[in-house]
Structure 1
Amino acid sequence: MNKLLLIIAFLSFATSTAQIRIGKAILPYEETIDGIDLTMNGAGMRSVLWIDMYAGALYLQKKSKDPKEILDSNQSMSIKLDIVSGFVTQQKMIKAVKEGFEKATFGNTKMLDERINKFIGFFSEPIVKNDVYDLVYIKDVGVKAFKNGKELGMIKGLDFKYALFKIWLGEEPASESVKKGMLGLQ
């Protein structure tokens, strides 16, 4: 009987900490945000010249392959960026985020400029290999940003979440392979 209880306990622990390997990154299959359970919709690796840079994963309440539906949704969700290369630096991240917002808004960032600048401020510390960023949208509130589990701050608004998530899920994503991965298409 004790062996059976031990096996059940082990299986419960193993399923509650399920993880998925994407290149060198190991990402959790599920996350809980403000009491809401999210499941990995998909994940992909951003590579440049055969060098893996970061793994990106999308977590949703209900899986979807439709980027428009995800972008328009006012449901809690998150994007996880797991840095796997020392080539991803603070300066390169800031530049990529600025360019991403420009593309996401078709160059019309005026309504978001103050919030974009606040978000870019979240990258004030050096970025090193194995850093993990969580960009968590909380329904009806806004985006909380975390670095290695430490909260960096909150940016209010569904419109900000739309533009931010569009960096990876839009028509001109930061990485086509990460977009396809996040949508579960590869």
Structure 2
Amino acid sequence: MKKLTSAFLLSMTLAAPVSAVTIEGVDMPDQMKADGSELVLNGAGVRSKWFIDLYVGGLYVSHVGSDPKAIVAADEPQAIRLHIISGMITSDKMTSATLEGFDASTDGNTAPIQAEIDEFMGVFKDEIKEGDVFDLVYLPGEGVKVSKNGNARDTISGIEFKKALFGIWLSDEPAQEDLKAAMLGKD
């Protein structure tokens, strides 16, 4: 009887619709609106460093895909959500890590988009604390709209900037390989 009850509960869990993915206590919604576009969660995972979980990152796209180069290059609505889960993240640490990410995603050639990077880095000047949520939403013709905790912070134009930004997590040298795999739905 115990096996039957367990099997029944498992089948009910698998059959139930999933409205969000929960990772490290963070609910990542299965959909996100981007100025009229409906984006779906492609995948999500945890960014860790030195055995400390820092943030949950989720990739939202118009249609699910697993090719990182195609996702980075796509000139279509997309978003990355970063949900801070550690008090160890500070403004200075986030700035430093993001600059390293831009360097890695551009193979060290940040010069063509340096003005956009400098503008973007202003988003991290205010204190960052556990529970903060950053949304990086790319819209063709507009650029990357950045918000913190639902409050618009800046819009940085240009597809080349978007490619470098999304490359932080999806390039050949991502911030973390298993986070990249998770965002691509390969975990």
TM-score between both structures, scaled by the size of structure 1: 0.89
| Mapping of residues 84-95 of structure 1, within 5 Å | 84-95=85-96
Once the two structures are superposed, residues 65-121 of structure 1 have per-residue CA deviations (whole angstroms, 9 ceiling, x without a partner) of 000110110010000000000011111100011111111111111111111000001
- Written as runs of structure 1 = structure 2, the 5 A alignment for 1:99-178 is 99-178=100-179
Q: Any runs of at least 4 consecutive aligned residues in structure 1 with deviations exceeding 6 A, and if so which? A: none
In the other structure, the counterpart of 2:65 is: 64
Looking at structure 1, the residues matched to 177 and 26 of structure 2 have their Cα atoms a distance apart, in angstroms, of 18
Partner Cα distance (2:106, 2:21) in 1:
32
- Of residues 45-54 and 111-120 in structure 1, the stretch that sits farther from structure 2 once superposed is 45-54
Cα root mean square deviation, aligned:
1.4
State the identity %. 42
Contact 1:42 1:183 survives alignment (8 Å): yes
Is the Cα–Cα contact under 8 Å of residues 40 and 58 in structure 1 kept in the other structure?
yes
Deviations 1:148-184 (A, max 9, x none): 0000100000000000000000011011121111000
The amino acid of 1:100's aligned partner reads G
Q: 2: distance between equivalents of 1:114 and 1:61? A: 28
Letter in 2 for 1:38: L
Q: Name the amino acid aligned to 1:118.
A: E
CA distance in 2, matches of 1:31, 1:99: 28
Name the residue aligned to 1:7. Answer: none
Q: Say which SS state the counterpart of residue 107 (structure 1) adopts.
A: coil
Aligned length: 172
Q: Which residue of 2 aligns with 1:77?
A: 78
Runs of 5+ consecutive residues of structure 2 not aligned to the other structure:
1-16
| CA contact 1:141–1:158 (8 Å) conserved in 2 | no
Shift of 1:26: 1.5
SS in 2 for 1:108: coil
**Matching residue of 1:11:** none
Mapped partners of 2:162, 2:20: distance in 1: 26
Residue matched to 2:8: none
Query: 1:43: which partner in 2?
Result: 44
Task: State the 1:25 CA deviation.
Answer: 1.6
Summarize the Cα distance change of 1:99–1:178 in structure 2 as closer, same or farther, 3 Å threshold: same
Q: Is 51-60 or 19-28 further displaced after alignment?
A: 19-28
Structure 2: distance between partners of 1:111 and 1:32:
30
